[in-house]
Structure 1
Amino acid sequence: WEEARSPGGVRWTQLEHRGPCFAPPYEPLPDGVRFFYDGKPMRLSVAAEEVATFYGKMLDHEHAAKEVFRNNFFRDWRKEMTAEERRVIKHLSKCDFTEIHRHFVDRAAARKALSREEKQRLKEEAEKLQQEFGYCILDGHREKIGNFKTEPPGLFRGRGDHPKMGMLKRRVRPEDVTINCGRDSKIPEPPAGHQWKEVRSDRTVTWLAAWTENVQNTLKYVMLNPSSKLKGERDWEKYEVARRLKGVVGEIRSQYQADWKSQEMKARQRAVALYFIDKLALRAGNEKEEGESADTVGCCSLRVEHVQLHPEADGRRYVVEFDFLGKDSIRYYNKVPVEKPVYRNLQLFMENKDRGEELFDRLTTASLNKHLQDLMDGLTAKVFRTYNASITLQEQLRALTRADDGIAAKLLSYNRANRAVAILCNHQRATPKTFEKSMQALRSKIEAKKQQVAEAKAELKAARAGHVPREDGRPESFLDKRQRRLEKLEEQLVRLSTQATDKEESKQVALGTSKLNYLDPRISIAWCKRFAVPVERVYNKTQREKFAWALDTAGEDFEF
């Protein structure tokens, strides 16, 4: 999460909770499940065996085929071994995790095959845990907690080609956790034999517990559920700041365009960086945690090697080619034509610099945000991302939606508008492994439906040819049934075809991130009301809870 401050400096007065629910202890493998090294069975110590199971579970996962993942795993695994185990186990290629993998595959299958009664029992146990740990008392109200469980230990996957993939995510223990609760509240009891790292009462933050995750050295929090009043206020404030930007963005753009010709190099660099943050929705950068080794950058931390200039490319003049790793090691690649002064300034910034030197060497994220604060209260580089995402959605919905379309076609328009935002924000994903299989199943359904439509048309034509009109003038129920059946089948075919188009267009774009974090939900809700689209077709139950504040306030005439 970003800095977990209360909206507008709002302070709570009472906060009481049970603390986080920790992952269960490791259960050793049954005697019949063996690990082999160099073809021979080998008994591992409990610590080494647990880490071996993390790899065994992922044996058929695409990550296990990546050299970086395997190397990181093996290095961290050896740290958990005894001296004797390290003396024997020296090469991952000689390790055989097959029986471990099969054990977990069989266990997953057995869980799926549980009886209805057993599944109900597990559901009741989960609900009991939810009731115990999943709620807090905040200012006299019982509020739901978002993520009350600590993440279990395992192997870090990361997104994209993360250089730390395969590293061991250690078990979170009470000694790692800082508890935040009311000064006069009952302090939650840590598990027997343990103690909290720290107990504090900070009324200016919205988290209940916090700890540092060992792989990326980032803070993790137990937070209130998105549907809570405090989180709703914070969401509302975020989008209101972005809406306020709409009123001054023209003036800000005029100023940074004028600064392209400034006598001061610092002002020029700031103006060009702000242009990219505004035009391309780039993140500001300089946000890496201490100790993070992934070579990820944002706009302010771009290096000369990340940018190539082309006087002309693809029939366009003054083209800038970006190629760098952004947040979560997701590659950002884009070729965009820019204003001539921007192009000339980039040439100036790159002059006499090595590839590894900073492009904006007179600029930091902190100095950029300080400048933005002077332009508008509460304005940061991130607000531009929220503003441009929301404006893009609103404009795309206006351009794409037709009032006389069916629900399926309107939803396709909505997803296309959302896709435009996801592309702007570089929210990529790998094509799902099951994509081709599910697409083939959908194509088969479409072909079967086409056949049904053809047959229904033939039946209707034959019925009309052999039909004798009734003299009493009453509705022709036989023909009506045939007609209604054909219309229903054609409607189903349109829905399936639209679904296939939507699925194909979204296969490498992650729509959820922008939808939940960058798009003012009131735009979507107003669109639903204006075009008679059920809100539940756009937001699922959890998302509707998160945006309850918007559902209550957004009319169909809402404008971002």
Structure 2
Amino acid sequence: MKIWICAKVLSKCELLFLVCEAQTCPLSSRWEEDKYEDGIKWKFLEHKGPYFPPKYQPLPHDVKLYYDGKPVKLGLAAEEVALFFAQMLDHEYTTKEVFRNNFFRDWRKEMTEEERVLITDLNKCDFGEIHAMHRERVETRKNMSKDEKQVNTEANQKIMDEYGYCLLDHHRERVGNFKIEPPGLFRGRGEHPKQGMLKRRIQPEDVVINCSWDSRFPEPPAGHRWKEVRHDNTVTWLASWTENVQGSFKYVMLSAISKLKGEKDWEKYELARRLKSRVDDIRLQYQNDLKSKQMVTRQRAVALYFIDKLALRAGNEKEEGETADTVGCCSLRVEHITLHDVLDGEKCVVEFDFLGKDSIRYYNKVPVSKRVFKNLKLFKESKQEGDDLFDRLNTAMLNKHLSSLMPGLTAKVFRTYNASITLQEQLRELTSDNMAEKLLSYNRANRAVAVLCNHQRAPPKTFEKSMANLQTKIESCKEKLALAKRELKQTKEEAKGSSDSNTVEKKKKAVQRSAEQLLRMEVQATDREENKQIALSTSKLNYLDPRITVAWCKNMEVPLDKVYNKSLRAKFAWAVEMTELDFEF
């Protein structure tokens, strides 16, 4: 694979750096093409459509579900859903009441009338044999021979070759998520009220195909037809459908390393960089608006204060059909904040407690300015639980105001700006020359962003075990270092008066190697402990200008693969190629 980079002069005399897999055309013809008029993404698009998961294979005859102690032979539809539940018996989800209730309700919808009459209580169902079969299959996959793994690899590569590429304006581009997600049970994040519901199997009749009118249209699977074939070149998705649990749209998109995706990323971070030169004026304005005579202006100013200082989302992230009680800044209700005149020695403290995007709890205690605090008291007057805190404001109004201050500016740009500037400022504090400590410092800077953006995760199930194993290695390394020091001391004493210093130097190097190994392990343990409930990947993928990381790696002589995995290096290849040592966000 070869990555090509070049520059193209835009109408505003800016340099736009783009990246692509130039596999089917010379560099010049790829990048010297005219820029399309506003809104047009492509002129030609051809692809194979999405890849559908294989059909359900019935359980072996000797594997059964038991109800009230008696074996039950289910129809294929109900049997498949029973398998979904059995596969998750090791997970705490299946112990949650909401998960079990949602599953049982949807499972009964897949049963025949006879099955529904028989099976009326989930607690009387025994999925043990099905679960045991599932575990056996998992172990079999783990223990596949090298030849068996090679067969699987070749089969997957064949699927990739057929469905994983498209022709975009007659250039070969990678397709991202071309595989339709198989059916299963919805998990959600946090305490999602729909967890346990059945995610139904997507059929070709559910899928809308998007391609150019003069291309070879994708062929649906035998015996099926597409819901629709359209030719919309103002969007970049190749196929779409609606999933049944939340009613949200799903898309087959271009890969993150495609030309259009790289261009979109570049534009996003450049927009955030432009905010840097305007942010002081914007902050001054919303500070002045805090004392406006118009209530809507005051509410807008306080909302902007929260979005800027706390990186809160604006509040329009809830997907269509989602019933979880999730909110953002503009949709906060009075019960989501508690005001403390004094708390833990701090004055004017706001205590936040609400469910944010993906039902992740946001809990924070933050000192605010007196004027913000006074306004919040005013907003809460004569209101009860369930009433909107910002009852004169919504996200559309807020973004309209922001776009009047700077073209293209939305509340989300503040999140990208504050995340990126935080990373850059944190990295400036780094002074260590040791590689392990450099990486720890980078992860700490990344964690500062993750905390700011409330990117949480549950500790991995294997966390305690892996930490115990690492601690055992640390203790062993300490013993090894102590032994090396004793041997060095003994060698020095034996070498007194001798002209032979080679043995002493060898022992010194052995001590140094052991000390370096111990330091690496101790730093690794610290890093794991600090990171156990923080998700670093979300900010890396979506909010941090990659040029900050690339420039830091170049300046600190840290290999990029130490902080960016393969997929991130491919996604941000444009940043890898264009970033100079002196880059400033």
TM-score, scaled to structure 1: 0.97
Aligned to 2:565: 540
Residue 392 of structure 1 pairs with residue 422 of structure 2: yes
Equivalence map 1:106-145=2 (5 Å): 106-145=136-175
Q: Does the residue aligned with 1:308 lie in a helix, a strand or coil?
A: strand
Contact 1:7–1:234 under 8 Å retained in 2: no
AA paired with 1:408?
Answer: A
Residues 48/206 of structure 1: CA separation in 2 closer, same or farther (3 Å cut): same
Matching residue of 1:330: 360
- Taking the aligned partners of 2:256 and 2:88, their CA distance within structure 1 comes to 32
Give runs of aligned pairs for residues 107-186 of structure 1, distance below 5 A: 107-186=137-216
SS in 2 for 1:123: helix
For residues 517-536 of structure 1, what are the alpha-carbon distances to aligned partners after superposition, in whole Å with 9 as ceiling and x for unaligned? 00000001100011111111
Aligned to 2:449: 421
Tell me the C-alpha RMSD between the 2 structures: 1.3
The residue aligned with 1:521 is 546
Q: C-alpha separation between the residues in 2 aligned to 1:225 and 1:273?
A: 35
State the AA in 2 paired with 1:110: T
- State the identity as a percent: 66
Which residue in the other structure is 2:7 paired with? Answer: none
Q: Which amino acid aligns with 2:557?
A: A
2:434 is aligned with 1:406:
yes
Could you tell me how far 1:495 is from its partner in structure 2? 0.4
Map 1:273-292 → 2, pairs under 5 A? 273-292=303-322
Summarize deviations over 1:14-41 as a string: whole Å, max 9, x none.
1111000001100000001010000100
Cα distance in 2 for partners of 1:257, 1:10 equals 40
Sort the Cα spacing of 1:494 and 1:391 in 2 relative to 1 into closer, same or farther, 3 A. Answer: same
What residue identity is the alignment partner of 1:335?
K
* Aligned position for 1:458: 486
Deviations 1:411-460 (A, max 9, x none): 00000000000000000111111000000000000000001001111111
Q: Cα deviation per residue 1:522-554 (whole Å; 9 max; x = unaligned)?
A: 001100011111111010111100000000111
Secondary structure of the 1:261 match is coil
Match of 1:504 among 523, 529, 552: 529
1:201 CA drift (Å): 1.5
| CA deviation string 1:262-286 (max 9, x = no partner) | 1111111111101100010000013
Matched with 2:275 is 245
Q: What does residue 295 of structure 1 align with?
A: 325
Q: Which residue of 2 aligns with 1:63?
A: 93
Question: Which ranges in structure 2 are unaligned for 5 or more consecutive residues?
Answer: 1-35
Contact kept? 2:58, 2:76, Cα under 8 Å: yes
Determine the C-alpha separation between the residues in 2 that align with 1:198 and 1:476: 82
In 1, the alpha carbon distance for the partners of 2:40 and 2:222 equals: 35
1:197 alignment partner, one of 205, 210, 227: 227
Is there any run of 5+ residues in structure 1 with no aligned partner, and where? 1-5
State the partner residue of 2:584. Answer: 559
Equivalent of residue 506 in structure 2, options 465, 481, 494: 481
Contact 2:248 2:321 in 1 (8 A): no
Distance 1:14 1:457 in 2: 69
Conserved 8 A contact 2:458-2:533: yes
Separation (CA, whole Å) in 2 of partners of 1:488 and 1:287: 51
Whether the aligned pair in 1 keeps the contact of 2:341 and 2:349 (CA below 8 Å) is: yes
C-alpha contact 2:379 2:390 (8 A) present in aligned 1: yes
Aligned partner (choices 438, 453, 471) of residue 466 of structure 2: 438
What displacement does 1:469 show?
A: 5.5
Give the distance between the partners of 1:114 and 1:289, measured in 2 at CA.
Answer: 41
What is the alpha-carbon distance in structure 2 between the residues aligned to residue 539 and residue 500 of structure 1? 20
Cα deviation code 1:475-507 (max 9, x no counterpart): 833222211111111111100000000000000
The residue matched to 2:506 in structure 1 has which SS?
Answer: helix
Runs of 4+ in 1 over 4 A off after TM superposition: 468-471
User: Which residue in 2 is equivalent to 1:3?
Assistant: none
C-alpha distance 378-153 of structure 1, shift in aligned 2 (>3 A) = same
Once the two structures are TM-superposed, the CA of residue 45 in structure 1 deviates from its matched residue by 0.8
Q: 1:43-62 to 2 correspondence within 5 Å?
A: 43-62=73-92
CA distance in 2, matches of 1:520, 1:195: 42
Aligned to 1:530: 555
Indicate whether 1:37 and 2:62 are aligned.
Answer: no
Cα distance in structure 2, aligned partners of 1:546 and 1:159:
26
Which residue number in structure 2 is paired with residue 307 of structure 1?
A: 337
Q: Work out the CA distance in 1 between the residues paired with 2:310 and 2:40.
A: 33
Q: Partner letter of residue 332 of structure 2? A: L
Give the aligned partner of residue 396 of structure 2: 366
Amino acid at match of 1:413: S
1:148 and 1:222 in contact (8 A); partners too: yes
Q: Among residues 21, 27, 42, which one is paired with 2:51 in the alignment?
A: 21
CA contact 1:7–1:230 (8 Å) conserved in 2: no
Q: Residue type of the partner of 2:123? A: S
Quote the Cα distance in structure 2 between the aligned partners of 1:194 and 1:333: 49
SS at match of 1:312: strand
Task: Tell me the distance in 1 between the aligned counterparts of 2:525 and 2:426.
Answer: 21
Residue 264 of structure 2 corresponds to which residue in structure 1?
Answer: 234
Three-state SS of the structure 1 residue aligned to 2:347 is strand
The residue type equivalent to 1:195 in the other structure is R
Query: 1:405, CA displacement in angstroms?
Result: 2.2
Contact 2:331 2:394 in 1 (8 A): yes
Provide the secondary structure at the position in 1 that maps to 2:272: helix
Q: Supply the distance in 2 between the matched residues of 1:458 and 1:183 (Cα, whole angstroms).
A: 79
Distance 1:184 1:178 in 2: 17
**Does residue 343 of structure 2 align to residue 318 of structure 1?**
no
SS at match of 1:258: helix
**What is the Cα deviation at residue 371 of structure 1?**
0.6
Equivalents in 2 of 1:260, 1:421: separation in Å?
A: 27
1:270 to 300, 319, 326: 300
Question: CA shift at 1:217, angstroms?
Answer: 1.1
Post-superposition CA distance 1:157-188 (Å, at most 9, x none): 11111111100001111111111112211110
SS at 2:238 equivalent: strand
Task: Using the TM superposition, give the Cα deviation of residue 8 of structure 1 relative to its aligned residue in structure 2, in angstroms.
Answer: 7.1
CA contact (8 A) 1:273 1:299 kept: yes
User: What is the match of residue 28 of structure 2?
Assistant: none
Change (3 A) 1:59 1:8: farther
CA contact (8 A) 1:7 1:237 kept: no
Size of the aligned set, in residue pairs, is 550
Quick one: distance in 1 between partners of 2:434 and 2:551? 18
Cα-to-partner distance string for 1:125-168 (whole Å, 9 max, x where unaligned): 01111111111111222111111100000000111111111000
Alpha carbons of structure 1 residues 110 and 126: separation in structure 2 relative to 1, 3 Å: same
Question: How far apart are the structure 2 equivalents of 1:469 and 1:82?
Answer: 94
The answer to whether the 8 A contact 2:495-2:501 is kept is no
TM-fit CA distance, 1:467: 1.3
Determine if contact 2:190/2:360 at 8 Å carries over to the other structure.
yes
Q: Does 1:550 align with 2:550?
A: no
Aligned to 2:246: 216
Q: Distance in 1 between matches of 2:199 and 2:294?
A: 47
Partner AA of 1:559 in structure 2: E
Query: Could you tell me how far apart the structure 2 residues matched to 1:290 and 1:150 are?
Result: 20
Post-superposition offset of 1:249: 0.5
Per mean C-alpha deviation after superposition, the further-off stretch among 284-293 and 514-523 is 284-293
- Aligned partner of residue 290 in structure 2, secondary structure: helix
Letter in 1 for 2:90: D
Distance in 2 of aligned mates of 1:343 and 1:173: 53
Report deviation, 1:219: 1.1
